[in-house]
Structure 1
Amino acid sequence: MKIHREGLGTIVLTALVLALLNVAVFYFLGQVPSLTWGFFIVSLILFLFIISFFRIPARDMAQDETLVISPCDGKVVVIEETFEPEYFKDKRLQVSIFMSPANVHVNRNPISGEVKLSQYHAGKYLVAWHPKSSTENERHTVVIGNGKTDILVRQIAGALARRIVNYLKAGQQVKQNEELGFIKFGSRVDIYLPVGTPVKVQLDQVVKGGQSIIAQLV
């Protein structure tokens, strides 16, 4: 397991803050060992959680250009036909994946191809499962085309996730499962597919980024 580069600053800052707090607690409450040890244990648990949040587990990635591979870890919360207003401006098949704070938060390219759009939008911080979060929350939209079809991937911030990182630029050639970006502290990723695309997941199914098959390209 590795630690993602997006987390290095946060981990160092957390370690410094917790160390200073523990020194202060020991200095002022050292005569009450149960309090000082209790605070140390809580601090250690919090620090380990922060480290786990930025983890990159070792995985055997699925590689198949006829498949759409999950761009993130999480649970499938939406599978429906809907109007996509930003890029396609027509009906698309939407698959949405909710990422909890306990999930791995690396986002990956679901297919290989050319980046046709990479656009950041400032916005609100509604809870990730709110119906309007896809269009009103802070978000970053990416469209990847492989010559046969275009897939839209939208990173969406939530009530806790207030920093979206995206590494792609328009015109760039990308490969399936390479890093697309990172969302800090949980949120949601929407995938927009052509209507009629055979979907290989079900509602409430838990998926893994780079491994789980979302759909079959036709």
Structure 2
Amino acid sequence: MSLLNTVRNTIVPVHKEGYPFVLGFFVASLVLGWIFKPLFWIGMVLTLWCAYFFRDPERNVPQDDDLVVSPADGKVSAIQMVSPPLELNLGSEPMLRISVFMNVFDCHVNRSPIRGRIRTIAYREGSFLNAELDKASEQNERNGLVVETGHGEIGVVQIAGLVARRILCFVRENEPIDAGERIGLIRFGSRVDVFLPAGAASRVSVGQTAIAGETVIAEFGSAKGPVISRRS
């Protein structure tokens, strides 16, 4: 485990869910290197990439209940008025949906976009289409959360992608949750959708890079003064 400790402490924090993968890549590197030495170095490059994929850095989270922060690192891929998934029980009326697409080089630890209480967690099996496609929201495997807030109920949906095969959820129903708190992780390329009720206005544009827990993607009410942040 010394390699894992070295990576975690000197290169970048690694989420515990990534430990088995990093160790597996390292062991495979040793075996391949025993067969053909150059393969060891190829394996080590892949080991370092795996550790980088499962990185879990601290974030400076805005402390304002009127702000909605990005639930994921990645690119804002869509801003639309869309009806939420039926399993969330948020009604059939269109809501403001902001989607953030994560490629295999983005941090895949997902965070709560706002403070509140988790009312519902709903998992649904599905396909594994390219997560950038609009139909992925309806057809792909996904895990949805509904967060009760002072501004109404907000939906957060983790969507598996073309390569992703496992969605992890770290929270439970009826738990309180802070903005920027870790809610889950999706392995290897995916997307997170946020469904916002009336009163929310987008503060990002399609194509913009977002940082989970830091980038303000939407706001309720009028603009305010300087935003206070905390480490999380």
TM-score of the aligned structures, taking structure 1 as reference length: 0.91
Work out the CA distance in 1 between the residues paired with 2:123 and 2:155: 13
- Report the Cα offset of residue 73 of structure 1: 0.3
Q: CA RMSD in A?
A: 1.3
Matched residue, 1:43: 43
- Report the Cα offset of residue 149 of structure 1: 1.3
Matched residue, 1:111: 114
Task: Note the 1:150-161 alignment, pairs <5 A.
Answer: 150-161=153-164
Matched residue, 1:5: 16
Work out the CA distance in 2 between the residues paired with 1:169 and 1:104: 22
Matched residue, 1:142: 145
Change (3 A) 1:16 1:57: same
Question: Would you say the 8 A contact 1:91–1:195 is kept in 2?
Answer: no
**What stretches of structure 1 of length at least 5 have no aligned partner?**
26-35
Query: Could you say which structure has the larger radius of gyration?
Result: 1
Work out the CA distance in 2 between the residues paired with 1:150 and 1:142: 10
Q: Deviations over 1:110-144 (max 9, x none)?
A: 11111111011111101101222111111000010
Where 1:23 maps in the other structure, the secondary structure is helix
- Report the Cα offset of residue 60 of structure 1: 2.2
- Report the Cα offset of residue 196 of structure 1: 4.9
Q: What is the count of residue pairs matched by the alignment?
A: 207
Task: Note the 1:59-78 alignment, pairs <5 A.
Answer: 59-78=59-78
- Report the Cα offset of residue 58 of structure 1: 3.3
Matched residue, 2:58: 58
Task: Note the 1:1-218 alignment, pairs <5 A.
Answer: 1-25=12-36, 36-37=37-38, 39-86=39-86, 87-88=89-90, 89-218=92-221
Where 1:2 maps in the other structure, the secondary structure is coil
Change (3 A) 1:217 1:196: closer
Q: Deviations over 1:48-81 (max 9, x none)?
A: 1001001112332222111001111000010011
1:22 is aligned with what amino acid?
G
Where 1:56 maps in the other structure, the secondary structure is coil
Structure 1 stretches of 4+ moved >4 Å:
none
Question: Would you say the 8 A contact 2:25–2:44 is kept in 1?
Answer: no
TM-score of the aligned structures, taking structure 2 as reference length: 0.85
Q: Deviations over 1:74-109 (max 9, x none)?
A: 000100111224222221011100001100111001
Where 2:17 maps in the other structure, the secondary structure is helix
**What stretches of structure 2 of length at least 5 have no aligned partner?**
1-11, 222-232
Change (3 A) 1:85 1:49: closer
Q: What is the identity percentage for the equivalent residue pairs of Structure 1 and Structure 2?
A: 35
Question: Would you say the 8 A contact 2:61–2:179 is kept in 1?
Answer: no
- Report the Cα offset of residue 169 of structure 1: 1.8
- Report the Cα offset of residue 147 of structure 1: 3.2
- Report the Cα offset of residue 21 of structure 1: 1.4
Work out the CA distance in 2 between the residues paired with 1:124 and 1:148: 33
1:44 is aligned with what amino acid?
M
Work out the CA distance in 2 between the residues paired with 1:58 and 1:84: 30
Question: Would you say the 8 A contact 1:112–1:175 is kept in 2?
Answer: yes
Where 1:198 maps in the other structure, the secondary structure is strand
Where 1:11 maps in the other structure, the secondary structure is helix
Work out the CA distance in 1 between the residues paired with 2:82 and 2:149: 22
